[in-house]
């Protein structure tokens, strides 16, 4: 779309980044199923490889279908650029890659998806990186965890699995005071419910597999660059501020300014890590985003109704949905997620672990899968699946204890979903 009027979210989710195909006039973004692109001549090829000209070289780096998705997500998030990759986990590594070195650490929230906790507590050790896990409701603890080797602060806007909402403005102030980028996983909220950059985030990561695609068909990830961080303000981020040997001493921040992180993510991250999104996945995700606002409205509407019903049920110990007035995070909804608290939360079943297993097995409409953000309603017993690899203490800290199930509320008829849960709770607690 051209510069000019400021368009609304519903318009941008359909049009941002997309233009009719110049060769055929096709209105829907084509799937450019190609590995490579013909250069105009030798000078053109050299300019592309030297980062002197923007264009397409090889689909590990850039692809026209993926480029549309990158521009669309960046626009919806209020960023200057984005890099898409193969999964949400890939996006997290890609986000940290330009920032970290052996011996450096990231300060991370205890309330994270179990796979992220494992990636940060175990896998990144192989790179010589480490993570410090802190309760982000305790800002003093966050400040205390930051040391001279810290290179990023990481949290989720709406935490998976409990649906907890992070006070992003407060955390961003802590990160800013320390001269560090704040990275926010916005998967559970999507830019329709929350735009972390508006609250001080430097980078936003997504598992596009979830709500952005919305149909459970493809995996993908995305890192959105706010363009607001001064990578040259200190010597902490040499990958972005110092000469890059692979590009004849080019300095990414000096050369590309606000787009330094984006260009580095493509020219170094995708080039060398190779965690590329395929064009068909980008196409499915683009089609999903076209209805994002409509789906998120229904997710929120259904979640509110079902969480309220569950909270009043004697077979349920508690519900963690931030949209409930009883939630300690309810006051943050209007500030951080003004359009609603999302469609993800947990609830504890009386009877503990065994009752949760019976509940999951008795459901008919809810699908028992390791995913969230689908148009379909989904359920999982995190302690025996997605968070199984964590210690009991880590499970409790993440809101995934043995007596808790996570639900991702879909866009079906809410009364049908309530009746399905009612039948299953009878089977689980009789």
DSSP 366-421: SEE-S--S-SS-EEE-GGGTTTTTS-HHHHHHTT--TTEEEEE--SS-HHHHHHHH
Distance, CA of 343 to CA of 373 (rounded, Å):
8
Spatial contact of 324 and 162, defined as CB atoms under 8 Å apart: no
**CATH T-level topology, domain 9-288:** 3.40.640
**Residues 305-324: what's their mean pLDDT?**
97
Q: Are 213 and 291 in contact (CB under 8 A)?
A: no
Residue 118 CB neighbour total at 10 angstroms: 18
Beta strands in 179-256 (DSSP E): 182-185, 203-207, 221-225
Rounded to whole angstroms, the Cα distance separating 127 from 411 reads 41
CB 94 within 8 A of CB 85: yes
Query: How does pLDDT run across 59-74, given as a tens digit for each residue?
Result: 999 999 999 999 999 9
Q: What is the residue-averaged pLDDT of the chain?
A: 95
Indicate whether 404 pLDDT > 70: yes
Tell me how far the alpha carbon of residue 331 is from its chain's centroid: 23
In Å, what is the CA distance from 5 to each residue of 71, 191, 350? 17, 20, 54
pLDDT tens per residue, range 84-127? 999 999 999 999 999 999 999 999 999 999 889 999 999 999 99
- Predicted local distance difference test score (pLDDT) of residue 363: 97
Q: Which helix (H) or strand (E) holds 152?
A: strand 150-156
User: Is residue 398 pLDDT above 80, yes or no?
Assistant: no
User: For 177-230, how does the pLDDT look when each residue is reduced to its tens digit (9 = 90+)?
Assistant: 999 999 999 999 999 999 999 999 999 999 999 999 999 999 999 999 999 999
- What is the model's pLDDT at position 384? 81
**Residues 217-275: pLDDT tens digits?**
999 999 999 999 999 999 999 999 999 999 999 999 999 999 999 999 999 999 999 99
Distance CA 158, CA 169 (A): 14
Fold match flag (9-288 vs 292-429): no
For residues 150-160, average pLDDT? 97
pLDDT above 60 (res 1):
no
- Whether the pLDDT of residue 287 is over 60: the answer is yes
In contact, 13 and 292? CB cutoff 8 Å: yes
Query: 203-207 and 182-185 as β-strands: parallel, antiparallel, unpaired?
Result: parallel
Cis before 188? omega within 30? no
Residue 311 has pLDDT above 60, yes or no: yes
Q: Is the domain covering 292-429 a CATH 3.40.50.740 domain?
A: no
Q: What percent of the chain has pLDDT over 70?
A: 99
- Contact indicator for 147, 105 with CB cutoff of 8 Å: yes
pLDDT band at 397 (very low <50, low <70, confident <90, very high): confident
Mean pLDDT of 317-345: 97
Distant-in-sequence, close-in-space partners of 354: CB < 8 Å, separation ≥ 6:
none
Radius of gyration of the chain (CA): 22
Mean pLDDT across 30-52: 95
Q: Predicted confidence band at 4 (pLDDT cuts at 50, 70, 90)?
A: low
Q: Quote the pLDDT of residue 419.
A: 98
For residue 245, how many other CB atoms are within 10 A of its CB?
8
Give the C-alpha separation, 142 to 368, whole Å: 35
Q: Which residues contact 311 (CB under 8 A, 6 or more apart)?
A: 318, 319, 321, 324, 326
Global confidence as pTM = 0.95
Round to whole Å and give the CA distance between 196 and 19.
27
Q: How far is CA 113 from the centre of its chain?
A: 11
Q: Residue ranges per domain, the chain?
A: 9-288, 292-429
3 band by pLDDT with thresholds 50, 70 and 90? low
With 70 as the cut, is the pLDDT of residue 279 above it?
A: yes
């Amino acid at each position: 779309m051209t510069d000019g009027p400021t368009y609304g979210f519903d318009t941008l989710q359909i049009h941002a980044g997309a233009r009719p195909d110049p060769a055929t006039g096709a209105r829907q973004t084509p799937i450019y199923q190609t590995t490579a692109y013909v250069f105009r001549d030798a000078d053109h090829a050299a300019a592309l490889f030297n980062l002197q000209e923007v264009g397409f070289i090889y689909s590990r780096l850039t692809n026209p279908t993926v480029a549309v998705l990158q521009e669309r997500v960046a626009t919806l998030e209020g960023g200057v650029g984005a890099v898409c990759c193969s999964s949400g986990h890939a996006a997290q590594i890609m986000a940290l890659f330009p920032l970290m070195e052996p011996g450096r650490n990231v300060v991370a929230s205890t309330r994270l998806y179990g796979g992220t906790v494992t990636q940060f507590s175990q896998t990144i050790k192989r790179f010589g990186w480490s993570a410090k896990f802190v309760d982000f409701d305790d800002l003093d603890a966050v400040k205390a965890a930051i040391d001279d080797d810290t290179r990023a602060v990481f949290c989720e806007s709406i935490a998976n699995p409990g649906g907890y909402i992070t006070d992003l403005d407060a955390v961003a102030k802590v990160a800013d005071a320390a001269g560090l980028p704040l990275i926010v996983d916005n998967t559970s909220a999507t830019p329709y419910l929350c735009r972390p950059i508006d609250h001080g985030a430097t980078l936003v990561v997504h598992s596009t597999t979830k709500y952005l695609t919305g149909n459970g068909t493809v995996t993908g990830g995305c890192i959105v660059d706010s363009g607001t961080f001064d990578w040259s303000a200190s010597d902490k981020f040499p990958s972005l501020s110092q000469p890059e040997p692979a590009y004849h001493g080019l300095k990414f921040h000096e050369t590309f300014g606000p787009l330094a992180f984006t260009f580095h993510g493509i020219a170094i991250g995708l080039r060398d890590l190779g965690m590329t999104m395929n064009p068909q996945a980008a196409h499915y995700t683009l089609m999903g985003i076209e209805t994002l606002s409509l789906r998120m409205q229904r997710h929120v509407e259904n979640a509110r109704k079902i969480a309220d019903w569950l909270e009043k049920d004697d077979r349920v110990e508690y519900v963690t949905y931030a949209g409930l007035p009883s939630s300690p995070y309810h006051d943050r909804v209007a500030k951080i997620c003004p359009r609603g608290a999302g469609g993800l939360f947990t609830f504890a079943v009386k009877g503990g672990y065994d009752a949760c297993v019976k509940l999951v097995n008795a459901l008919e409409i809810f699908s028992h899968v390791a995913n969230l953000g689908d148009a379909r309603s989904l359920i999982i017993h995190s302690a025996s699946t997605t968070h199984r690899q964590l210690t009991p203490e880590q499970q409790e800290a993440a809101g995934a204890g043995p007596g808790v199930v996570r639900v991702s509320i879909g866009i079906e008829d809410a009364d049908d979903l309530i009746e399905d849960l009612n039948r299953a709770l009878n089977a689980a607690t009789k």
